[in-house]
Amino acid sequence: MRLYLMQHGSAVPKETDPDRPLSAEGHADVRRLAAFLRTAGVRVDQVLHSGKTRSAQTAALLAEALPPAGQPEARAGLGPNDPLAILVPELVYWTADTMLVGHLPYLGRLASLLLAADADRPLLAFRPGTLACLERDAERRWALLWMLRPELLAERG
């Protein structure tokens, strides 16, 4: 089973819009990532997001590009400071490749817990628009397969 951890794309400042939708840069970064993933043949069975505007927009752009994902769904427990105990016990039973679109510090803590059994040990350097792919093996151990940050896919001028 693969678990894709995606930090939402760059959002506009709270002072500009309290809902913090994706900025033009955030839209562009997520679209480039989605195109790259589609070309690479990445497939996910479901896309879950926190329900915040910026994560919902990011999830929609990705789900559109990654069949058979279908409609992204808001999922409780994926907020920036939500406790890991809401989702982690369920992960043991998941078999479908899933993308979680959320926020920091949640995604960093989740990755650290799954990879090193220590949520407080920073391991992955997320920033807006970053995607990490984790894989669970037959012994239920997690490994980092790869990670992409938006600057790796940025158009060079």
Q: What are 61-91's pLDDT values in tens digits?
A: 999 999 776 799 999 999 999 999 999 999 9
Q: What is the pLDDT of residues 89-108, one digit of tens each?
A: 999 899 999 999 999 999 99
Angle at 36 between CA 64 and CA 70, to 5 degrees: 20
Please provide the CATH number assigned to the domain covering 2-153.
3.40.50.1240
- Predicted TM-score of the model (pTM): 0.96
pLDDT given for residue 154 in this prediction = 82
Q: What is the pLDDT of residues 119-156, one digit of tens each?
A: 999 999 999 999 999 999 999 999 999 999 999 998 76
Model pLDDT, residue 69? 67
Name the pairing type of β-strands 98-102 and 142-148.
Answer: unpaired
Model confidence over 28-45: pLDDT tens digits?
999 999 999 999 999 999
Region label for 103, one of left (φ > 0), alpha (ψ between -120 and 50) or beta (otherwise): beta
